[in-house]
Amino acid sequence: MNYLSIGKIVGSFGTQGEVVLQHALGKKTALKDLEAIFVEMRKGELLPYFLVSARAKSDTEIYLKLDGVDNREAALKLNQRPVWLEEADFKKHAAASAPVSLLGFSVVHAGENLGEILEVIEQPHQVLCRIDFKGNEALLPVNDSTLVKVDQPARLVYLNLPDGLLDLYA
């Protein structure tokens, strides 16, 4: 089963164990019909948490009430933990235009497939895509000057990267 990272829990709300999920889904959502999220308690260890309720706070935050998280102390244990969704649920809830929707796409530069996007890191003025390039982790900038096009059906991101950037990772 494939899981995709959507954000992290950034705090608790109230005294009944609600948490605030900060997400990069690209639209205001209350995760309608979603049964569970997966919280990364330790690197590579995803634990399912079933949703009791969810309500949108803003375009990037959702209040979540999770089964078994019934007080502030339990909620605080989840603070700053990454949150993942199963791939099918991710596709239902992420906006097609959201940078996070590029997860799983392949990056093409100068006609060469460089690898699959493993992580999307959003920064104020650009997006970085993490790929595995020739056995090394590479961070590729995606912005107005590097992005050529996104081919949604083929799941390809075409970039025109600065000269010498890939040499740093080879």
Residue 35: its pLDDT value, please?
94
Residue 91: its pLDDT value, please?
82
Residue 16: its pLDDT value, please?
94
Question: Is 104-168 CATH 2.60.200.20?
Answer: no
Residue 1: its pLDDT value, please?
67
Q: What pTM was computed for the model?
A: 0.72
Distance CA 126, CA 144 (A): 8
pLDDT beneath 50: ranges in the chain: none
Residue 152: its pLDDT value, please?
84
CATH class of 3-94: mainly beta
Residue 62: its pLDDT value, please?
96
Residue 100: its pLDDT value, please?
81
Residues carrying CATH 2.30.30.240, the chain = 104-168
